[in-house]
Each structure stands twice: as C-alpha cells, then as structure tokens.
Amino acid sequence: MNRTSSEERLARFQRDGFLVLPRFVSPEACDGLIDRARALVEAFEPGELRSIFSTTDQALTTDAYFLGSGDAIRFFFEEGAFDAEGRLRAPKALSINKIGHALHDRDPRFDAFSRTPALAALARDLGLSEPRLLQSMYIFKQPHIGGEVVCHQDATFLYTDPVTVTGFWFALEDATLDNGAMWALPGGHRQGLKARFRRDEGDRVRTEILDPTPWPEARPENGYVPLLAEKGTLIVLHGLLPHLSGPNTSDRSRHAYTFHVVDGAADYPRDNWLRRDSGSPLRGFS
Ligand code: FE2
C-alpha cells in the first residue's frame, strides 16, 4: 500500500474508530480456518464442561473454565444449547458459540493466519509500536440460535493504560443484516471508556462503571451503521469504539475469526480477566 492510502486509512480510522477492508484475505484462507475450527470442534469432548457464553448474563458465564482460557483453546456453547436434562438440543458442531482465547498461539493454522506481513504493516500504520497479540476467538454465530453481543467497548475487557487494544475481525463467511453482522457507532470511540471488567485475586469479577450514561439504542436513526462484510473482509476496531451484533435469525451461519492486539509499551494491569498464568510471553506479528 502506498503512503497516501495508508495515511488516508489512518485518518479514517481516527475519525470513525473502525476500518472495513474488503478482500484482505483470500477465500481459500477463510476456508482453511473454517476447516480447522471444524476439526477442533470434532475433537472436543464436552463431558461435564458445559460452559456457555452470554453477554447478557456475565455472572452465569464467568466461571473457572472461562477465566483459565487466556492461554488455552476452550469451547463455549450457545445459550439454549442444552435441554432441561443437560443434553445438547442440536449436534455439537451447531451448538458452539465460540472457541477462545489463545488460538493464535496454540494452533499452528491460526498462528499462521494471524501473523502475516500485511497485518504487521497495518498494525504499524495504525500506530501500534510494539504490537502484542493478546487474545483470539473463533465465533460461529450459528443459524437461528447465534446469540446477540450487546453494545460494548473492547477496552472494557482488555484494558491497558493508555488504551491500546485494537480488534482485527475477519469475515470468514458473508456477514449480512439477517445473519448477525456487527454494528458500530462511528466516532463513538471519542467518548471515553464507560466500564471496566475487573478480576480480583480471589477470581471474583465485577464490572466497574466509569460513566453511567447508557449508549444510545442501537438503531440507524441514532447514528449506528451496519458493518456489512463479504467473506475475506477485515474489520479493524478501535478499542473504545461502541459495537455490537444482533442474533442470527437466518438459516446461514456467520463464522468470524477475531484477535485483539495491545501495545507492549502500555501497562497491562493484573486485574484484567485474561492472564497468561503459564508465563508464556505475548508475541507480536513474527
Ligand atoms: Fe467486541
């Protein structure tokens, strides 16, 4: 990318708080990741570990399995995936909400997808002087049961001082209005951080409210825009940008892979939920 277009790109990112970059990765690369995620799910035996992921009931879902996933590959089910007897209502492959949170470090295919010269150059252009890949997720957004993700800022969950977290989100399948595309509030990243999700030494978690003003309701008339993304699109999100996604009401899945980068020059407080207790250091793009 030439100098002018990278400067334009940075100016747009600073103005809007996000970038939508179509055709950033090839359809074949997307298919490779989809295949790998399918193989990981096939090999996963849920047993008694039935952790679900919900953004509407954090206390229910923040268990030891979740808190220990910062350095591992773990599997989280959709809300409503189990019946009253604890049996899966649908096949396992259609019941998983996401896999997290160290795919980029613990799986060679995800590692290679996450660390490319193009991504390293983009991160540098966006001002990340010492980029460190902190956390990754494979999100299934299953047909019919793929749950909503309520409006939030990523810096609430991955906090550095100063705020540096930056999201890299890849559409592995088309993200449309009816299968749960993301929505964002352009420019909302300039309003400051509204909450911090903190973990204490006893592994209790709580959300500290820094600014109680609620986000405007997520409707187009309030300025929100859908981030429609064809397969292969990369969306970059500023850590303070308010964003969300609705439920998947369609009969098509909306697979996405996302990872979050922080700047190694910023302070990463220990009361973040995500800890690398194994001691393995965070790595950059190489
Ligand atoms: Fe997010």
Measured in Å, residue 12 CA sits from the centre of ligand 1 at: 19
Measured in Å, residue 150 CA sits from the centre of ligand 1 at: 9
Counting residues of the chain whose pLDDT is more than 70, the rounded percentage is: 93
Q: Which residue has the higher pLDDT, 91 or 272?
A: 272
Measured in Å, residue 85 CA sits from the centre of ligand 1 at: 32
Residue 157 DSSP one-character state? T
Measured in Å, residue 134 CA sits from the centre of ligand 1 at: 14
Preceding peptide of 22 cis, ω within 30°: no
Per-residue model confidence (pLDDT) at position 82: 82
Per-residue model confidence (pLDDT) at position 46: 77
Measured in Å, residue 182 CA sits from the centre of ligand 1 at: 9
Structure tokens at 260: 């979050």
Measured in Å, residue 154 CA sits from the centre of ligand 1 at: 5
Average pLDDT over every residue of 8-24: 97
Measured in Å, residue 70 CA sits from the centre of ligand 1 at: 16
Measured in Å, residue 244 CA sits from the centre of ligand 1 at: 7
CB atoms under 10 Å from CB of 82, counted, come to 16
Q: CA 118, CA 130: separation in Å to the nearest integer?
A: 16
Instruction: Give the residue carrying structure tokens 């986000």.
Output: 215
Q: Is the pLDDT of residue 58 over 60?
A: no
Spatial contact of 103 and 73, defined as CB atoms under 8 Å apart? yes
| Per-chain residues with Cβ under 5 A from ion ligand 1 | 154
Q: CA 220, CA 36: separation in Å to the nearest integer?
A: 36
Structure tokens at 220: 């187009």
Measured in Å, residue 116 CA sits from the centre of ligand 1 at: 22
Helix (H, G, I), strand (E, B) or coil at 9: helix
Residue 247 DSSP one-character state? -
Structure tokens at 243: 């964003």
Domains of the chain: 3-263 (2.60.120.620)
pTM over 0.85: yes
Measured in Å, residue 105 CA sits from the centre of ligand 1 at: 20
